Structure 1
Amino acid sequence: MKENDLISIIIPCYNDAEFIEQAINSALNQTYPNKEIIVVDDGSNKNTKVVLKSLEQKIDKLITQENSGQSRARNNGIKQAKGSFILVLDSDDYFENSFCEKAIYIFKKDSNVKLVTCFANLIFDDKTKNYIYKPKGGDIKSFLTSNSALGSAMFKESDWDVCGGYDESMTNGLEDWEFYIRLLSKSGIAEIVKEPLYNYRKRQNTTTSKANKAKYELLNSIFTKHKDLNIKYYDEFTKQLLVKLEKEEREKFKNKNRIEFKLGELILTPFRWVKSIFK
């Protein structure tokens, strides 16, 4: 590893005219000096294209493609990157200025590290909530049943190349988690900077929200694709699934005992009785 490795910051953008400048500025303002910024326009609308054109002087490269999804946008950006380290950044989010510097320090300190991300400050549309999300990181066993890192993270270009990049057939979400499974499947760990250095907007109609709607179909696809790992770590895999099921059951029980639920049941009961008569 060189003293001052180049970091290529890849920002896929699809119809994010409102937020893309803040994302680009957060890349520009990183305290780590040796970086390039590549924005991939994933078939955005005219308004976003106008904004991207006005920001072109701030970035090193603007790549344009037909709308094909985040995986292809990220892969296209990385293919044209010059850096030995890659940082992917969603166009509606932004990093705090010190992330790159702290991530590179972790890579230099431990050769076993293959992925670095951080805690995230979740920004909700109604701005009434404040929540810090704390991914746990770890080795492949931490990624068997769910993602233990953020979708925006840093990794080595050489590792991306060896494991085949992002799966471009995954256009409905969870492509980052699936990529991390392949990235860590042979060896290595994901490290977490234990500070909220990423600002993550929780919005409607994003790839993440769409992934939640297609949750079980996507889970089945990932579990099937990596069946060999689930068999290899069978005890850990089943333990994690059972913990998740137990947690969901507790949440259901808790919701059923909330006053709002009981009140709703009380109001709806006579309507259900009337409906049953006319069946």
Structure 2
Amino acid sequence: MGNVSVVITSYNQNEMIREAVDSVRRQKLRPDAIIVVDDGSTDPASVQVLDELEQADDITVIRQGNAGPSAARNVGIRAARTDCVTVLDGDDRLLPTFLETTVGLLDGDASVVAASGWLRTFGVLDAVVKPTGGTITDFLSRNACPATFTFRRTVWEACGGYDESMRSGFEDWDFCLSLLAAAATAADTTATGQEPRIAIAPEPLIEYRTAPASPNITSMDKRLETMRYLINRHHAAYAAHLTDALLGIEATSIARLNLWERTVREHPALLESQPDSRAFMASPTYGDGGMAAAARLRS
């Protein structure tokens, strides 16, 4: 056993929840507990799967009324009795070395408060996504850790857990900020010389399901609104690292503009075939590098 529990949250996910459980059972490092928290599933097929899982000796199923993913995770983590906890969404899967790798990262470095790995996506997108992790400054302009990760239970307690009022996405980003801020408050960074950080193993450790209606995709519609909430909630961190936060956003903006420019150079027909590209070239944006990019493309 690895002194780690896995909390899987589910809501009307049918056979996908069984796939998530089976991926935990296949781990090279066996967890001490597998806790499935059902957030009020109403679909009969999903309820049937949960009923069957409840009969297994190695699984604890907790059922609650629909309260959102944050509340479901907190309930599962509260039920865990191990030093480390892994959270896993019920429609995703762990690759066999996830627990071994993430628990190893936590055991090997006291400054690491949480750990995860790259994502191998499947469904509508077939790709390897490579989040970078880091200290709190790396998380101010974007989320740098997957929602599936392993963390120290003591830090979850110190930060107050997931924000249960967040039901429209980005609650995992908020939780990472809370974890890092709580760890920084508790740690003597002057003695260790290291800020608390979230470590990412440079290899795919998660199979991440992508679908047009998945919460992580639909939540992008409310990104600006959610960003305002995050900044207000973590105002002290943003104020203390304002330069890093702004430069992080600027770096992302420049990278996306450069990617678009390279793509158009390689495929010039896009300038005429895409209405948005035609509109941009006819009236480039000002003050954000847009006009310079348009001029380069015409030169």
Tell me if TM exceeds 0.5: yes
**What SS does the aligned partner of 2:217 have?**
helix
Alpha-carbon distance in 2 for matches of 1:34, 1:241: 38
Which residue of structure 2 lines up, in the alignment, with residue 53 of structure 1?
51
* Preserved CA contact (<8 Å) 2:53 2:59: no
Please show how residues 12-51 of structure 1 align to structure 2 within 5 Å. 12-45=9-42, 46-51=44-49
Mark the runs of 5 or more structure 1 residues left unpaired by the alignment. Answer: 270-279
CA offsets per residue over residues 108-162 of structure 1, 9 Å max, x none? 211111010001101133xxx5311111111111101111111000001111001
1:164 to 142, 160, 172: 160
Alpha-carbon distance in 2 for matches of 1:147, 1:264: 30
Q: Aligned partner of 1:79: which letter?
A: R
The two structures have a TM-score, normalised by structure 2, of 0.82
2:6 to 6, 9, 20: 9
Alpha-carbon distance in 2 for matches of 1:60, 1:40: 11
State the 1:38 CA deviation: 0.5
CA offsets per residue over residues 218-270 of structure 1, 9 Å max, x none? 1111112112111111211111121223334445655697535623549x99x
**What SS does the aligned partner of 2:166 have?**
coil
**What SS does the aligned partner of 1:62 have?**
strand
1:247 correspondence with 2:234? no
The two structures have a TM-score, normalised by structure 1, of 0.87
Please show how residues 164-183 of structure 1 align to structure 2 within 5 Å. 164-183=160-179
Which residue of structure 2 lines up, in the alignment, with residue 276 of structure 1?
none
* Preserved CA contact (<8 Å) 1:117 1:191: yes
* Preserved CA contact (<8 Å) 1:5 1:84: no
Please show how residues 206-221 of structure 1 align to structure 2 within 5 Å. 206-221=214-229
Alpha-carbon distance in 1 for matches of 2:180, 2:122: 29
Q: Aligned partner of 1:191: which letter?
A: A
Alpha-carbon distance in 2 for matches of 1:209, 1:62: 28
Alpha-carbon distance in 2 for matches of 1:115, 1:33: 18
CA offsets per residue over residues 79-100 of structure 1, 9 Å max, x none? 1111211000011110111111
Alpha-carbon distance in 1 for matches of 2:219, 2:51: 30
Identify the range of structure 1 (27-36 vs 196-205) with the bigger mean alpha-carbon deviation.
27-36
How has the CA–CA distance of structure 1 residues 70 and 249 changed in structure 2, closer, same or farther, with 3 Å as cutoff? same
Which residue of structure 1 lines up, in the alignment, with residue 72 of structure 2?
73
CA-based RMSD of the aligned residues comes to: 2.2
Give me the identity figure in percent: 29
How has the CA–CA distance of structure 1 residues 94 and 261 changed in structure 2, closer, same or farther, with 3 Å as cutoff? same
1:263 correspondence with 2:273? yes
Mark the runs of 5 or more structure 2 residues left unpaired by the alignment. Answer: 185-194, 280-299
Alpha-carbon distance in 1 for matches of 2:69, 2:275: 42
